[in-house]
Every structure is written in structure tokens, then in C-alpha cells.
Amino acid sequence: MIEVRTVTTDRKGLNDFLDLPYRLYRDDMNWVPPLRFERKMFFNQKKNPFFEHGEADYFVCYRDGAPVGRITAHIDRNYDSYHKTKHGFFGFFETENDPQVANALIKTAEEWVAKRGYDRIIGPMNFTTNHDSPGFIVFGAETPSYLMNPHTMPYYPGFFRAAGYGDEQLLNSWALTEPKDLPQEFHDRDEKLCAKYGDRLVVRHIDLKNLRKDVDMILKIFNDAWCDNWGYVPMTEREITAMADELKLIVNIRLTYMVFLDGEPVAFMVSMPDINQILRENRNGAMFSRAFFRLLFNSKKHINQFRVMLLGSLKKYRLLGFDALMYHRLLHDGLDTGHREVEMSWILDTNKPMNNAAAHMGAHLFQQYLILAKPLRPTA
């Protein structure tokens, strides 16, 4: 017997929701177990700043009392306000390879969204594009994903296509392996900008001692630079502060940049060491396991990759080439700190200039993530 239950406020059910992926991917070494403590905090609606402007419920599907699948359904008032739409979302979908279970979960999420008067459902979105990367992996699943990128079962997209979903977006991940140097124009752009602006141009790393001030400047640039992107939702001060509080625990300052012109912050880049290289060995997700501490305190021996997570320039300065300048310096600093591979994601497959630039740098297409969508008939 199959039954879908709402577990948002049910402690036991929520534990079933959180535990399910650890069982499903137990033998898949390309899946990186998140820390259980972090996942509990993330799904806590009193602590995650998403819920200041969003609403969600969590569902678990049980077969004869045993948890076999899960899904979330949510809406985002900031998304609605910005895009002038009534689009709901599903996320965090996991299930055994059972069409009956999948259909029950999909139907539950659709009904939840439609009941609130929404006319479309999109996913997987976990919860917004501003945190964990969205999508089902459809290319490159034979390799572990980088920090905060998804790894999912290959049969997931088929369940949604059978339920009437169409492809919404394809997101690309690019990786530059054993980089020796970038094409000469990256070096030339750096030199020309420095020669043109002289002391008016300042490039520095993020300052952890003045993180609050730097975060405010990054937020301003981010919301200007990304406002035309698909899936964009304005990042609130609380959200970027929460992200900064998480990431500052693992950040390598030399992999971050801020660019100032005439004293105005105009561009930034945030890269992070790929701690997935540590977490993938910690199969139960325990924060206080012997394996986790052994790896953590020898992290330099285990982490030789990093991910470019956020990059942006104010629109009025976008064509000046500050992105090339930052990439040029990032390559030098990344190699100097012992890293041997850099991943850049995510980039919309329709963003030809950015994809061409990644290929021109010598990067190869590393992974792709699929977003699906379906029209709904509102029932509210």
C-alpha cells in the first residue's frame, strides 16, 4: 500500500525525509552525503531565511509503512513579485525506481501548488537558484559533483516527462583541469585595465574582518548583475548573510575578488574549495565521525579543486572585461594555493557568450542539469 504524508511538522516523518537519500545512494560513491546537521538547519522553517518570503510543505511516500520517496512543494512571493507570474515549484525529489511512487509524489506537489492558485510548476528548485543548484543531472553523473551541485538518479527525468512535463532549462557546468595558463587576451585585458585606470582601479580579496560591509557591496552587485537571468530571485540581506556565515567557515580568501573603480564596488567573484572531496568519504553525513575529523584536519591533502560559485559586474561596467581580469588572477592564485581544477557553474545552456568563453578558456563541459515544467489548472 502506498501513502503520501505531509511531514513538515512531524518529527519522525521529517527524519524519514532527511534520511532517505543516505539509503538510496548508499552504494553510489558519486553522491556526496551532506552533513546531517546542516540539512536539519536548512529545512528548519524558523531558521532558513527563505521562509521570510516563501512557503513550503515536505512530503514522504510510504510503502507498507516504509519511506520510499520524498518531494517538496513551495511558492516564493519574491519570485512572484519580480517575475509577475504565478509559478510554483517542486524540489528535493528522491525515490526508488517505482513509477507508482513517483506519480503519487508528483501529483501531491501539483495539487499543493494548484490549490494555492498557481498556474505552473517548475523544478527541481531547491528552494531558489540562490542556494543549492537546481536540476536533475543528465550529463556527467559518472563523476562526483562539485560543492552545492546536484547528483540525482538517472531515471528521475523520465518520471516527470511521463507526467506531462517539458524541458524548461538546461544548466551547464564547465571544468578547467590542470590549467597552465589562460589565453593571452585574459592577461592582456588585465594589463590594459590596470594601465587605463591606474590607481582608480583597485582589486582586492574579500576582507573577513569587514565581512558585513563586503557582503552589502556584493549584494548590490549581485542583484544588479543577475536581474535579467532566468530563475533570478532578488537575494535578501538575510539570505546572503546566512550564506556568508556558512561559507566563511571554508572560504579560501585568495579565491575571492572584489573590483573597485573610483571607489565604487563594480564586480566580484566568490570561489570555494570543493569540500565535496572530503564529504564524499563521510558516507553517513555525521559531523562528529572519526572519518570526517581525520579528513577535515588534513583538508589540504584532500582538496585540490575549487568552484566559481558567484561572479558578477554592475551592468554599466559589464563590457569592460572585469570578469577576464578576475579569472586571470584566480588562475594564478588557485594554482599557487595547490588547486589543480576549477569548476564554473551554473551557466544557462542558452547563454552562448558565457559558454563560448568557458570553452575558449580551455574548459570542458563537465556536467549538465535539467529543469522541467508543466502548466497547471489552478483550483483555488
pLDDT at 287: 75
Pick the CATH number of 2-170+371-375 from 3.40.30.10, 3.40.250.10, 1.10.10.60, 3.40.630.30: 3.40.630.30
pLDDT over 70 (residue 127):
yes
Helix (H, G, I), strand (E, B) or coil at 212: helix
Question: What is the distance, to the nearest Å, from the Cα of residue 166 to the centroid of all Cα atoms in its chain?
Answer: 22
pLDDT band at residue 129 under the 50/70/90 scheme = confident
**Under a CB-based contact definition with an 8 Å cutoff, are residues 2 and 60 in contact?**
no
Which 3 state secondary structure label does DSSP give 50?
Answer: helix
C-alpha cell at 201: 582601479
Say if residues 330 and 271 touch (Cβ distance below 8 Å): yes
**pLDDT per residue as tens digits for the range 232-285:** 988 888 888 887 787 777 888 899 999 999 999 999 999 999 989 888 888 888
Say which range, 103-112, 298-307, 349-358, has the weakest mean pLDDT. 298-307
- Whole-model pTM over 0.95: no
Q: What is the pLDDT of residues 205-242, one digit of tens each?
A: 999 888 889 988 999 999 999 888 898 988 888 888 88
Q: How many CB atoms lie within 10 A of CB 32?
A: 26
Nearest to residue 39, comparing CAs of 55, 59, 51, 22? 22
**Could you say which DSSP state residue 265 is in?**
E
Domain residue extents for the chain = 2-170+371-375, 180-339
Residue in the structure block whose three cell numbers are 504524508: 5
Question: CA 136 to CA 120: how far, in whole Å?
Answer: 19
Sequence-distant contacts of 221-225: CB under 8 A, at least 24 apart: 221/265, 221/266, 221/267, 221/268, 221/312, 221/313, 221/314, 222/268, 222/310, 222/312, 224/312, 224/314, 224/315, 225/312, 225/313, 225/314, 225/315, 225/318
Place of cell 562539485: 146
CATH number for the domain formed by residue range(s) 180-339: 3.40.630.30
pLDDT at 347: 93
Cα gap 305→339, rounded to integer Å: 5
Q: What is the mean pLDDT of residues 56-75?
A: 98
Q: What is the pLDDT of residues 144-188, one digit of tens each?
A: 999 999 999 999 999 999 999 999 999 999 999 876 678 888 889
Taking residues 97-120, report their average pLDDT.
98
What percentage of the chain reaches a pLDDT higher than 70? 96
Give the pLDDT confidence score for residue 337 in this predicted structure: 75
Helix (H) or strand (E) holding 202: strand 201-204
Spell out a b/e string for 75-110, using b for 16 or more CB atoms within 10 Å of the CB, else e.
Answer: bbebbbeeeeebbbbbbbbbbbebeebbbbbbebbb
Tell me what percent of the residues of the chain surpass a pLDDT of 90: 69
Q: What is the pLDDT of residue 292?
A: 66
For all residues of the chain together, what is the average pLDDT?
A: 91
Q: b vs e for 200-230, b when ≥16 Cβ sit within 10 Å of the residue's Cβ?
A: ebebebbeeeebeebbebbbebbbbbbeeee
Cα four-point dihedral sign 33, 58, 4, 152: negative
β-strands 87-95, 66-76 pairing? antiparallel
Element (H, E) at 257: strand 256-261
Contact by Cβ (8 Å): 131, 341: no
Per residue in 75-102, pLDDT tens?
Answer: 999 999 999 999 999 999 999 999 999 9
Give SS3 for 348: strand
For every residue of 169-199, DSSP letters joined together read EEEEEEEEES-----HHHHHHHHHHHHHHGG
Same fold, 2-170+371-375 and 180-339: yes
CA 133 to chain centre: 3
